[in-house]
Structure 1
Amino acid sequence: MRVLMSTYGSRGDVEPLVALALRLRELGAEVRMCAPPDFAQRMADVGVPFVPVGPSASALTASAPPVSSFSQRAADLIANQFEAVAAAADGCDVLVATGMVPAAAGALSVAEKLGLRAVSVTFQQLTLPSPHRRPLAYPGRPFPQGVTDNRVLWDLDAQSNNELFGEALNINRTANGLPPVADVRGYVLGDRPWLATDPVLDPWEETPDFEVVQTGAWIEPDTRSLPSDVEAFINAGTPPVFVAFSTMHMHASADTVQLAIEAIRAQGRRALVSHSSTGIDDQDDCFFVGEVNHQALFRRVAAVVHHGGAGTTTTATRAGAPQVVIPQLADQPYWASRVADLGIGVALEDPTSESVSAAVKTALTAETRARATEVAGAIRTDGAEVAAKMLLGATAG
């Protein structure tokens, strides 16, 4: 079987597909990937044939284009999908689509045109309509004040998707001999979307509207050793606390990272700090690290202070590392709330010197460590394998 994967987004949208691709390949499938050009080297490293789509995702995010250009950028993404995915799909049997709504809509339309089986996947449930929670609002399109009914809010979300992406999608569909779509979000999700998250960390509550297939998170085991200088720092004293804030997903100030370092020092601990967090003082008890194996690192640290991205949260939870999550946007507050609800760390949306200090102190307690260890033992490790077998028809799906 030949499988085509398509996404447009950040590393968090690509790495799960890498995990799935490698499992599929182990089961005898051929796999190729459509993704932003940023990930050409990553695909080369794992030996997955790669087709670049659209402009650099990281450059687009860093440029912070105005909200007024959102619809035009979406139109460009859809056109890119029709061009690149159609060419990449030659000889393929199934498409796995994820990423930004307009990109997924474009890729799924190509699959429809070519008669390919398609699976729509999301890596966080906040894109799935549910009466149990409210949707995320698009930038520049806040929900009306005073509206609290989740079903009404999801109806407004569907309206936003249609207004932002409907015209561009249907222009491309019509040009390719496809009928127009009246409900963009509904088209992308279909009647049986896959949710590639862990059911303990991210439990899905069933709704009568459609069926969700939750596979577990798709994470590729990382076997890389930690750099020797990182090993030396860790071994030089009690386990340090790791601090990392993603520059692509979060606009955390150096002040916030400095607050975390000061709180760590106040507890008599040392800090490991990601190089993505810049402008921080450099002292003997504060060591800076670049790209490292987080799966290995998180098992060696006393706690992790981070932004609340899905990947970082899942990796820390699987490692049994207590967490302090300081979210600012998108799905980060949701993951922070899950960490707090599970008792494996602290969610902190308004960081001050006092609140960060108290949060780090709580994360470093024996009680939080014990709870984090307990939850880690319940996290599934076979999500990518489950999904690969379902995709290939080896198990009921």
Structure 2
Amino acid sequence: MKTVSYFTIKFKSILILACTILLVNVQASAQQQLEVVIVGSSHQNPESAEKYRYVVEKLKNYKPDMVFGEYLAPEDHQQAIAQNYYATKSDLKKREYLLEQHLKTPKNPQKDIAQAYAALSKFENYHKTRMELARNLFLNFDKANAEYQFYVLEQHMQPKFEKSEQAVFEKMFGGVDSLRKVGLIRKNSEYQKIYFPLAYELGHSKIYAADCQKYDANWNQAWAKTDSLIKKMYAVAKADTASEEAQVVKAIKSYYKWAEQKSKEIDTKDYGFMSTDLYGDYSDVVNFYGGAKFYDMPGYPKEEVLGMLHWWQKRNEGICENLIRQARENGATKVVMGVGAAHRKSLEAILAKMPGVKVVNYNDLP
């Protein structure tokens, strides 16, 4: 019978312990690699593209591995359309427009999309291939990347079109003006002015979708209930200026007046403002009928507002989960997400509590 010495056993124990510690350290190190910049954005950006170059340049210097947007992933977008989510009505019209061109619809769009990406990675000036890619992406419910490809076609490829390619473009889409009219090119969106140029100049072939609309029905129900009570509160306040409701309305209007005056001291069109605590507080008041600042005032529908905030928070948690999952899957170390400015404060707070995630505020970028 073989015997094992005490020293051999001890050495094996130490070796196992060392390997375990090393594995934990490696895992921890991997978790510490992800930085996230949430850029609070406006959905309407009417100034010239040049006016937003400072945002593009700032984010480009950060060199993110991935750029995310407030879009639904294809499978979620398809489900949202099936459930008649309110924002998908315009998307149905866009699908109908593309299908009305009487062109051959691919039997296997996912295969065609993959082949198009592969071809364009070797030579970006396969213009007809890119046109088909844009169309197939939208028909395959990938709105984010369809719009990105329409941006590339409009801004970077169209000047290179040969006459035959321009003819194909007009046959497929009716030209740029038609794409703008139907909304496949949203000329004043934050994507058209900031995030598509950012992704293109970084050499990214795709933009990533992180929105979450699982709780849309719950949110709408909570919002409708709250909105009804808020209207009643304002009606009571108007009818009886000595009522508790009147005191709440007076306090809310006083805050609005203060915020309006404060806004005159700040360039509110600057993207930096939308990433400040002041904007976060003001946004909460505007979007949640006053919010936490007025919870303790008699006559204020606190519980109903909290119900709204619950589903808002669930959506933001879903956005963070979608973002982190995809970033991890792609081995990213730094990512940027453009999102409506009202989400920024909540997203940063959620991400800050996630292990291995470092939140970098837009204003802290050099």
Structure with the bigger percentage of strand: 1
Q: Which has the higher contact order (CA 8 A, sep 6+)?
A: 2
Select the structure that is richer in helix. Answer: 2
- Could you say whether these structures have the same fold, taking a TM-score greater than 0.5 normalized by the shorter chain as the test? no
Q: Normalising to structure 1: TM-score of the pair?
A: 0.27
Greater Cα radius of gyration, structure 1 or 2: 2
Instruction: Return the TM-score normalized by structure 2.
Output: 0.29
